[in-house]
Amino acid sequence: MTTRRSTAAVAVPLLAGLTLALTGPVAQAEPVPAPVLEASPGVVLAPFYTELDLTGDRQVTPADLDVLAARLGATPASAGWTQVAAADVDADGVLTVADLAAVSARMVYDDGPFELVEASVIDMQAAMNAGVTTSVELTRAYLDRIAAYDRTLVDPAEGGRPLNSVITTSTVALQAAAAADATRAAEGMTDLLLGVPVAVKDNYDTLDMPTTGGCGCWEDNHTSTDAAMVAGLREAGAVILAKASLDEFAFGFVSEFSAGQAPGSTLLAASPYRTSQTAGGSSGGTGAAIAANLAGLGFGTDTGGSIRVPASYNQLVGIRPTVGLASRDGIIPLALSQDTGGPMARSVMDAAAALDAVVGVDPADPVTAEQAGRVPESYTAHLDPTALEGARIGYVASMVGTNPTTLRLFTQARATLEALGATVVEVTPPAGFGDVLAEPSGSTNEFRHDLDRYIATHLAPQVQARSLTDILATGHYVISRGGTYASRAAVTEETYQAWAGPEGTHTRAIATGHALVTGLMDDLDLDAIAYPTGTPYGTHSTNLRLSPNTGMPSLTVPMGQASAEDGTITGAGVNLELLGRDYAEGDLIGFGYAFEQATHARTSPALYGPLG
């Protein structure tokens, strides 16, 4: 895969604590010109961490503090003021120790206490840069949490269940973490994902763990290569920690799987907020694991809602990218007309950092060629709390529905968007919009064809079940799916071509949907279309079809929880979804970040706090 990421080294050494007793002007030293450096192609950070850079390397490091310390007492009348004016954080016209402290706060460095639960990527990097923790320690801590929590019943409520969010953990994760620590010691923080433990859905190929698709029939599928997205994560320095559970072969929203179980037996993934409820699906294991802090970041796949449903059920941020932004090569397919992989995270910042690692053109997935010239250097550059100012957001009233929780939260979300500077307008859907939402999933007519291609190119040679018919013969699958597998095994190549071929009805429907929705946005000058991802532990009508039936990207972000007064499921999360134009993930990330920073709607599941 040809990526646009760079891993140039950026050293972040330990700092001594700053003495802040002096807050007024001090005697000014002789002017020392700030070094004029070309911008390093290294780590790309969010604006908060770059806007006070004085040395041209697009981040705040000890070198910036040295420059500022040498100019304490400078004023606009001083020589070279323009080179250091950005450091006058309090805008009082003089550089003081207070400014020095404010600039130092923009470093990715924190030598204070570190708490793993709810730690962000920045929290982890800051602690590792300061030597407070290491990737090995983070990885071991997440493995300990998986061992303590994942298959253990911790919910005393009636109907409580174990999470069942992880199918397997890597036996070489600690080695990968040690390698990341060695890289940091030698080169500094080379990437925001360096040393960060990641869980991927168990339909992503991984060299160090079997890829089962959630099916007991493929427990010995030890592939010879990583999925392209997994390779991108490893290149960034991430630690592939575990394979998350899923609805078998990514079929549905309940995340029932047979992998690791005796033939005829299955497990279901549970939501860590209320374990009697499903974690959603098909990426339910990823959703439950990330929400319960069993890994730093997660990845799922989405054909018709499989990232966004578990993100909503588990109060996470999820990104369903434009089809073509990230290679699907090495991912067990469901329907390639609509399949896409994407991040699931506890914050928009984490999701943006994760997305950076997996985009790129890949000849093995030709649709990725469409992204050339349309991908930013880093999605983290869009993390702007003012991103909604001047934005135009449309919504369709029928997509909001009447569920008391969803209606209340969407009404509040609309008010928040407007308070943040967006214009929110109700949209009358054009003729044909209902047909876009009504177009069914491609999985019925595409699954056999696309699975056969994966089997021919990626399935390990020792796996005996090499077709849907073979899978049925094993008896080692979710038995209730037998009829579905049999009917999809009977789909002919002629039926597939009539559906998903170049002139197939589904192919034309997606193209028509894309043109119609893009035209709607153009005509009304909309930057995004907003709607609820679903209801408390449920979906709403055909909302989830809008993104896959157009190929356009969407981002889902927590907007709140059900209250007792709603009369639904108290405490259940519901997300706000934003749909944008092709390859406008950066805009959606900016909008989602601004909304998230204003609401901080996500809560942490109380049942899965720090280990004693």
- Please give the positions annotated as active site: 201, 282, 306
CA 554 to chain centre: 11
Q: How long a stretch of residues is the chain?
A: 612
524-540 burial, b if ≥16 CB within 10 A, otherwise e?
eebbbbbbbbbbbbbbb
Q: Are 254 and 247 in contact (CB under 8 A)?
A: yes
Find all residues with CB under 8 Å of 211, minimum gap 6, and list them: 202, 203, 204, 205, 218, 221, 223, 243, 332
**What does the block give as tokens for 170?**
């890597």
**Alpha carbon distance 194, 362 (integer Å):** 23
Phi-psi region of 5 (alpha: psi -120 to 50; beta: other; left: phi over 0): beta
Element of type H or E holding 128:
helix 121-129
The DSSP bridge partners found for residue 528 are 393
**What does the block give as tokens for 497?**
């071509």
112: buried, middle or exposed (CB in 10 Å: 19+, 13-18, 0-12)?
A: exposed
Outline where 164-206 has alpha helix (H). 173-187
End-to-end CA distance of the chain: 43
Q: Are 219 and 178 in contact (CB under 8 A)?
A: no
Q: What are the start-end ranges of the E strands in 91-246?
A: 166-169, 197-201, 239-244
Q: At what angle do helices 348-356 and 121-129 cross, to 10 degrees?
A: 80
121-155 burial, b if ≥16 CB within 10 A, otherwise e?
bbbbbbbbbbeebbbbbbbebbbebbeebbeeeeb
Q: Are 541 and 399 in contact (CB under 8 A)?
A: yes
Question: Dmax over Cα atoms in the chain, in whole Å?
Answer: 84
Handedness of CA 444, 445, 448, 453 (dihedral sign): negative
